[in-house]
Structures are given as C-alpha cells and as structure tokens.
C-alpha cells in the first residue's frame, strides 16, 4: 500500500531554510549565516504544513512509497520561505499620484498633510467607499503582493479615524483573512492621524472610550479579528503621552503593540516602545542611541521601511547601528498611497543598497524577523518541519538573485505556495 502526501518540491539547487533550530528571531551574527541546503527537496503535507526537508537522496528514500498530489521539479532553481511583509496600509480608495508630483516638485510630507492632503485625502475617500469596493481594492493588492512572493502580510486600518470607517476597514481585512490564500496580521490604526476639526485630547478620548471598547465587543462576538494596535507617534500628530495612552489601552485588550515612531522627528518612540514591551516599532529614521539599546534589551523589533526614506528623500534608518546593538531588524513595504510598492524583493534590494544590509540579513529581516514582529515566528518565516507550507520557487541557481535582480521578481518567481496550495 502506498502512502499519500501533498506536494513534493524536488531537486532544488538550493533550499534556503533561513534557520533550522526553532529560532524565534535572528540577530546580526545569525542573520549573516543562514541555513541553506544544496541539492535538496521538500515535502508539504496535505495539512498544509512542512513535512520534511532534506537532500534529494534522503527525501527520495524516505518517500519511495509515497504518491504525491503534486510534484514540482525545481532543477536549477531555488526554494525560499514565503516572504513576510511586516507593515502595510492596503485598504483605501483614491490614489495620491498628484501628491507624488507635488513631492517631486519639493513639497514635504508634512506640508501636504498640514494642508489637508496626505492621510486626510485618503480618509475622505475611504469614508465614502462601500465595503465591497474596499474589499475589491484590497483583494487586487494582496494578489499583487502574493505574486511578489509575500505569504504573510500585516494589514492596517487607519483611513477612517472614526468608529464607523475603522470598523468597516477591519471587517474588510477580516474578510480577506477568511477568503484569500494569504495569511494576514490585522492592525487597528485608529490613531493614524488627528481627524480634521478635532483636538488630540478629543481623539485620544474617542479611541480609548468609544472605538476600543466597541471593537472589544465585536472581537468577543467574533465579528472582527484584530492582532495589533498602532499609533502614528509624530510631531503634530500623536505626542509620546497620547501615544502611550492609546497603546496601553490596546494592550489591555490583548493586542500586540506595533506602532509608527521616530519617523520625521526624534520622539523617543524607541524608548517608549521598549518600556511598553512593544513587539514592533516601525520607521525609526530618527531613533536615539538610547532607544536602540532599549529596544535590543526589550526585544522590541525594528520594522524598517526603505520606501519611506526613498520617496520622501529622508535619511535612511540606521540599520547597521541597530544590528550591531543586537536589535531584531525586520522589513516591510509600507505599501500605502504615499509609498506605492508591493514588492518585498524590491524592499530587500533597497535595504541592502540604502541601509547597508547584506543580502542574508535582508532575507532574514523579510522572513523570520518579520514573522517575529507579528508574533508569528513559531509558525511562519522559515522552512522548518511543522511550520506553514509557505514558500517561493525562483528560477535561478542562487537565491541571492531575488535581491540582486531588482525589479525582476515577476520573471524570477516561478511559483508561490501558500499553506501547501499553489497560489
């Protein structure tokens, strides 16, 4: 009697495991020395989990009596874990290509924001959009992310800034989580900006006394699922104290703290995040030395977003200083109407060139560490037995080509598998 199993990916030139000892994250030294098998095969069981990975010969003898639902020949190709995008804003309508033109002509992000554009522009359009319209936009964007190799994506709300539209966005994300072949970590970002005509105090009060209690009720009823809480901690948006109030209220609801900080001005967001035991702090272009050290000790990951500095012509985050200090560095696309980038391969390339990361460091940051930043590294982020069968196959005999050939992921990525299903 022959056994049956799901998918056999065989004869790969390289299988990049990333790590193979159940590590929850990697810091600098380990990021430079990733686990890679040569001439290897991998099996994903019918339950969507990785069942075995090893040399071609070892897998062949282990599975000689097995009939697979599907066999993929990866001769001359490389297998990598599905990429994890640790920071996106993918639910909105109304693009901001006109603002891109303004920025190219010299306007700053905050000048546009303070003049009523930026996030305010997107909020205005998103409030008017139907749930169906928002879902269709999100679906198309997630499909583009999958084609670029992402299999777990963090998705934020934050273009509603009131209970009605924030809830609408979270329901749309929840529907995508249930219906689409991609894993999602859902973030409530009601503190993305101060709504027009409101003060900071009124906004903090609305979030902590109206929005969060209502969302808690919806979560208990199973009507919406939320993993993380986010705030835009920035000069002229939420100061340190109001950020802390909102984040703590979210933490009391059981949400992971994962917020925007130290982007345009030094705010001591790194220090605050470490104190609150944040799982992740994003941006950090202006983080202080103390903030870096505190984050390393607290194991609050740094989610670095190379598109922001690139688009806004800011200085890049100090990835090297963070890595040297032992911070857990992760990467995200920051996909949003300001930074219209779906591609984690492109992000890794930018992290290497503009933030001086090595290709191995960038891949660890876009897999196991990005999974850690979302509290998912026990199930995602590496090709280890028992983890999710999420992987990509690239048509190149060396995995580094995924980063080296910038803007080429469409030709390079042959196949994306999510939970054991070819996407």
Q: Which is nearer to ligand NIG, 340 or 406 (CB)?
A: 340
Q: Which is nearer to ligand NIG, 300 or 307 (CB)?
A: 307
Q: Which is nearer to Fe ion, 183 or 334 (CB)?
A: 334
Task: Check if the beta carbon of residue 14 is closer than 8 Å to that of residue 385.
Answer: no
Question: CB 321: neighbour CB atoms within 10 A?
Answer: 12
The least distance separating Fe ion from the CB of residue 230, rounded to whole angstroms, comes to: 8
Classified as helix, coil or strand, 148 is coil
Q: Which is nearer to ligand NIG, 88 or 396 (CB)?
A: 88
Q: Which is nearer to Fe ion, 156 or 376 (CB)?
A: 156
Classified as helix, coil or strand, 225 is coil
Q: Which does 337 bind (CB under 5 to 8 A by kind): ligand NIG, Fe ion, none?
A: ligand NIG
What is the torsion angle, in degrees rounded to the nearest 10, for the CA atoms of residue 182, residue 410, residue 373 and residue 314? -140
Classified as helix, coil or strand, 226 is coil
Classified as helix, coil or strand, 396 is coil
User: x-or-dash pattern for Fe ion, window 320-359, by CB under 5 A?
Assistant: --------------x-------------------------
Classified as helix, coil or strand, 5 is strand
Q: Which is nearer to ligand NIG, 23 or 334 (CB)?
A: 334
Where do contacts with ligand NIG occur on this chain (CB under 6 A)?
Answer: 89, 118-119, 122, 232, 260, 263, 308, 334, 336-338
7 forms beta bridges with 44, 70
Classified as helix, coil or strand, 174 is helix
Q: Which does 271 bind (CB under 5 to 8 A by kind): ligand NIG, Fe ion, none?
A: none
What is the torsion angle, in degrees rounded to the nearest 10, for the CA atoms of residue 395, residue 397, residue 398 and residue 404? -50
The least distance separating ligand NIG from the CB of residue 177, rounded to whole angstroms, comes to: 21
The least distance separating Fe ion from the CB of residue 237, rounded to whole angstroms, comes to: 12
Q: Which does 308 bind (CB under 5 to 8 A by kind): Fe ion, ligand NIG, none?
A: ligand NIG
Q: Which does 118 bind (CB under 5 to 8 A by kind): Fe ion, ligand NIG, none?
A: ligand NIG
Closest-CB residue for Fe ion? Answer: 334
Closest-CB residue for ligand NIG? Answer: 338
Q: Which does 332 bind (CB under 5 to 8 A by kind): ligand NIG, Fe ion, none?
A: none
The least distance separating Fe ion from the CB of residue 58, rounded to whole angstroms, comes to: 43
Classified as helix, coil or strand, 306 is helix
Q: Which is nearer to ligand NIG, 184 or 237 (CB)?
A: 237
Rounded to whole angstroms, how far apart are CA atoms 235 and 82? Answer: 36
Question: CB 274: neighbour CB atoms within 10 A?
Answer: 21
Size, binding site for Fe ion by CB under 5 A: 1
Rounded to whole angstroms, how far apart are CA atoms 195 and 201? Answer: 11
The least distance separating Fe ion from the CB of residue 53, rounded to whole angstroms, comes to: 34
The least distance separating Fe ion from the CB of residue 336, rounded to whole angstroms, comes to: 6
Q: Which is nearer to ligand NIG, 90 or 345 (CB)?
A: 90
The least distance separating ligand NIG from the CB of residue 365, rounded to whole angstroms, comes to: 17
Q: Which is nearer to ligand NIG, 228 or 308 (CB)?
A: 308
Q: Which is nearer to ligand NIG, 95 or 202 (CB)?
A: 95
Question: CB 52: neighbour CB atoms within 10 A?
Answer: 16
Question: CB 356: neighbour CB atoms within 10 A?
Answer: 13
Task: Check if the beta carbon of residue 82 is closer than 8 Å to that of residue 145.
Answer: no
**How far is C-alpha 27 from the chain's CA centre?**
18
Distances (CA, A) of 327 to 28, 295, 297, 408: 8, 6, 8, 30
Least Cα distance to 370 among 141, 83, 34 occurs for 83
Least Cα distance to 247 among 271, 265, 228, 264 occurs for 228
The least distance separating ligand NIG from the CB of residue 348, rounded to whole angstroms, comes to: 18
The least distance separating ligand NIG from the CB of residue 294, rounded to whole angstroms, comes to: 22
Q: Which does 227 bind (CB under 5 to 8 A by kind): ligand NIG, Fe ion, none?
A: none
Q: Which does 263 bind (CB under 5 to 8 A by kind): Fe ion, ligand NIG, none?
A: ligand NIG
The least distance separating Fe ion from the CB of residue 334, rounded to whole angstroms, comes to: 5
Rounded to whole angstroms, how far apart are CA atoms 257 and 248? Answer: 8
Q: Which residues bind Fe ion (CB under 5 A)?
A: 334
């Amino acid at each position: 009697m022959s056994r049956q199993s799901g998918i056999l990916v065989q004869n790969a030139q390289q299988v990049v495991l990333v790590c193979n000892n159940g590590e929850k994250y990697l810091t600098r030294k380990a990021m430079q020395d990733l686990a890679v098998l040569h001439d290897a095969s991998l099996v994903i069981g019918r339950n969507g989990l990785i069942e075995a990975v090893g040399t071609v010969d070892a897998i062949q003898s282990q599975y000689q009596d097995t009939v697979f639902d599907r066999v993929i020949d990866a001769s001359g190709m490389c297998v990598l874990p599905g990429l994890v995008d640790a920071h996106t804003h993918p639910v909105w309508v109304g693009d901001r290509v006109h603002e891109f033109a303004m920025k190219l002509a010299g306007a700053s992000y905050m000048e546009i924001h303070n003049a009523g554009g930026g996030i305010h522009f997107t909020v205005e359009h998103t409030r008017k959009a139907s749930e169906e319209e928002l879902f269709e936009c999100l679906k198309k964007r997630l499909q583009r992310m999958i084609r670029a190799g992402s299999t777990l994506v963090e998705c934020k709300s934050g273009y509603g800034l009131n209970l009605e539209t924030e809830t609408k966005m979270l329901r749309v994300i929840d529907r995508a989580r249930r219906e689409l072949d991609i894993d999602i970590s859902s973030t409530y970002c009601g503190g993305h900006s101060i709504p027009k005509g409101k003060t900071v105090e009124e906004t903090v009060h609305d979030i902590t006394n109206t929005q969060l209690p209502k969302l808690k009720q919806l979560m208990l009823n199973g009507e919406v699922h939320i993993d993380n809480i986010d705030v835009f901690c920035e000069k002229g948006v939420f100061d340190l104290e109001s950020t802390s109030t909102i984040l703590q209220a979210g933490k009391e609801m059981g949400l992971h703290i994962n917020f925007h900080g130290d982007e345009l001005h030094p705010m001591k967001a790194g220090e605050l995040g470490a104190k609150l035991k944040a799982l992740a702090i994003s941006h950090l272009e202006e983080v202080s030395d103390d903030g870096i050290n505190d984050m390393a000790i607290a194991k609050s990951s740094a989610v670095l977003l190379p598109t922001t500095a690139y688009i806004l012509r800011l200085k890049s985050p100090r990835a090297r200083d963070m890595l040297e200090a032992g911070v857990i560095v992760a990467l995200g696309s920051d996909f949003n109407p300001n930074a219209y980038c779906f591609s984690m391969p492109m992000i890794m390339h930018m992290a290497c060139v503009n933030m001086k990361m090595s290709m191995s460091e960038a891949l660890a940051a876009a897999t196991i560490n990005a999974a850690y930043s979302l509290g998912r590294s026990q199930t995602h982020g590496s090709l280890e037995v028992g983890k999710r069968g999420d992987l990509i196959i690239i048509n190149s005999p060396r995995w580094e080509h995924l980063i080296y050939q910038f803007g080429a992921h469409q030709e390079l990525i042959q196949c994306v598998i999510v939970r054991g299903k070819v996407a």
